């Protein structure tokens, strides 16, 4: 039987002063699928991403990736283990071109212009390939700060994909993005998933979540309250209650 376990947590807890952001969250995402993590504002989704990617330390609990403990690992070690991520507030280098941004994802920024030879050429080709795949190849020589918000989000994703992660965590990919780009992101997620990449997507846009996800986990107050396929989640009373307060 194939391994279906992807990123998973056991009793993950994190408090900021008196605010309990994660309250013993036990979650299991599925390998090879498009997973979504949804929930009302402040329900702990970003804190969850930050804990499982090593950006912040949980107070207690455990994180595993495909059965391997990654709880106390540094962010770069978690990336090496196969988990890449984007950020809600989009992290790109504003004064670097799109192409250099993608290259910087796999080599130190200071070396970008210095490296020569076949490997560098190969990397440039791959970087251009990702820009093309994301539909922003025409912006290769444009500085990131001169690109639209949506284009910057695609650029950030190109950088993450340049690291060839087996699993991609997307933090609000639709936030502030126009409908045309939104369609592109949805299509891309499905295509990349069909090629074998696992996704975990934190997102408020329910159209996107419902159209791309195989498996949805719903958070409320720092822990999961429901999980299942879109058809089930859409009509789950606990979910409606958490969102609508009914």
Residues that bind ligand ATP (CB under 6 A): 16, 19, 21, 39, 41-47
Residue entry with tokens 């930050």? 50
Residue entry with tokens 């074998």? 196
* Number of other CB atoms surrounding residue 133 within 10 Å: 16
- Smallest distance from the beta carbon of 154 to ligand ATP, in angstroms? 20
- Smallest distance from the beta carbon of 120 to ligand ATP, in angstroms? 38
Cβ-based nearer residue to ligand ATP, 42 or 228: 42
Return d(Cα 53, Cα 77) in angstroms, integer. 9
Mapped onto helix, strand or coil, the DSSP state of residue 95 is: coil
- Smallest distance from the beta carbon of 57 to ligand ATP, in angstroms? 12
Cβ-based nearer residue to ligand ATP, 44 or 165: 44
- Smallest distance from the beta carbon of 42 to ligand ATP, in angstroms? 4
- Smallest distance from the beta carbon of 8 to ligand ATP, in angstroms? 18
Cβ-based nearer residue to ligand ATP, 28 or 220: 220
Return d(Cα 191, Cα 193) in angstroms, integer. 5
As a 3-state breakdown, the chain gives helix, strand, coil percent values, each rounded to 5, of 40, 25, 35
Cβ-based nearer residue to ligand ATP, 16 or 194: 16
Cβ-count burial 168-196 (b if 16+ within 10 Å, e if not): bbbbbbbbebeeebbebbbebbeebbeee
8 A C-beta contact, residue 13 and residue 61: yes
Cβ-based nearer residue to ligand ATP, 25 or 168: 25
Cβ-based nearer residue to ligand ATP, 40 or 135: 40
8 A C-beta contact, residue 54 and residue 78: yes
- Smallest distance from the beta carbon of 235 to ligand ATP, in angstroms? 22
Residue 158 CB contacts under 8 Å (≥ 6 apart), including other chains: 98, 101, 102, 105, 127, 130, 131, 133, 134, 136
């Amino acid at each position: 039987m194939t391994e279906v376990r992807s990123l998973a947590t056991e009793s993950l807890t994190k408090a900021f002063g008196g605010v309990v952001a994660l309250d013993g969250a036990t979650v299991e995402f599925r390998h090879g699928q498009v997973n979504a993590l949804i929930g009302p504002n402040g329900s702990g989704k970003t804190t969850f991403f930050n804990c499982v990617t090593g950006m912040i330390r949980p107070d207690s609990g455990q994180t595993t990736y495909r059965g391997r403990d990654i709880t106390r690992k540094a962010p770069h070690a978690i990336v090496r283990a196969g988990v890449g991520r984007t950020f809600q507030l989009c992290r790109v280098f504003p004064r670097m071109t799109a192409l250099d941004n993608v290259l910087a994802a796999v080599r130190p920024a200071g070396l970008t212009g210095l490296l020569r030879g076949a490997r560098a050429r190969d990397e440039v080709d791959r970087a251009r390939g990702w820009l093309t795949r994301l539909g922003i190849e025409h912006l290769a020589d444009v500085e990131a700060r001169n690109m639209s918000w949506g284009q910057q989000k695609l650029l950030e994703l190109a950088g993450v994909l340049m690291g060839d992660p087996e699993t991609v965590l997307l933090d609000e990919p639709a936030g502030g993005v126009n409908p045309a780009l939104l369609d592109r992101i949805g299509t891309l997620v499905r295509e990349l998933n069909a090629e074998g990449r696992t996704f975990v997507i934190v997102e408020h846009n329910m159209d996107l979540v419902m159209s791309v996800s195989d498996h949805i986990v719903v958070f409320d107050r720092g822990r999961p309250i429901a999980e299942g396929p879109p058809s089930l989640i859409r009509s789950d009373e606990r979910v409606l209650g958490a969102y609508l307060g009914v």
